[in-house]
């Protein structure tokens, strides 16, 4: 399901599959969503986690969510939020490139003339 806000939607893809969708509004901007990944990295670094451990944990979580979505199992809304954070963290760490298979797609709201 794609959630639309007044400014459009943010859609997250992993391994070519649409996993999550978030509404873009004046309060929930793309930059705010993107900051969640940076915040996750900083929080893990303050807890003295190794970068390799972070990358492995983030990747494994994304793979679990991917398998649940691929098998058409339910995913909690909180897990969608965690997926958003881990995906943006992996993009920030340059483990995942934002391309046609992995990453995000911003779909602006269609303007009526």
The model's pLDDT over 85-102, given as tens digits with 9 standing for 90+, comes to 999 999 999 999 988 899
Residue 102 lies in a domain: yes
Residue 84 lies in a domain: yes
Q: Give the pLDDT of the chain (113 residues) as one tens digit per residue.
A: 788 889 999 999 999 999 999 999 999 999 999 999 999 999 999 999 999 999 999 999 999 999 999 999 999 999 999 999 999 999 999 999 988 899 999 999 877 66
Q: Is 75 helix (H, G, I), strand (E, B) or coil?
A: coil
What is the structure's pLDDT at 113? Answer: 67
The model's pLDDT over 36-49, given as tens digits with 9 standing for 90+, comes to 999 999 999 999 99
Between CA 87 and CA 85 the distance in angstroms is 6
Residue 112 lies in a domain: no
Between CA 36 and CA 94 the distance in angstroms is 16
8 Å CB contact between 22 and 37: no
* Structural domain count of the chain: 1
Residue 23 lies in a domain: yes
């Amino acid at each position: 399901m794609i959630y639309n806000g007044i400014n459009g939607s943010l859609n997250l893809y992993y391994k070519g599959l649409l996993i999550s969708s978030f509404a873009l509004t004046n309060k929930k901007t793309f930059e705010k969503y993107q900051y969640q990944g940076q915040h996750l990295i900083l929080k893990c670094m303050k807890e003295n986690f190794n970068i390799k451990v972070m990358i492995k944990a983030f990747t494994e979580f994304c793979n679990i969510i991917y398998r649940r979505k691929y098998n058409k199992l339910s995913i909690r809304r909180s897990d969608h939020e965690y997926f958003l954070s881990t995906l943006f963290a992996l993009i920030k760490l340059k483990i995942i490139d934002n391309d046609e298979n992995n990453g995000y797609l911003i779909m602006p709201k269609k303007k009526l003339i």
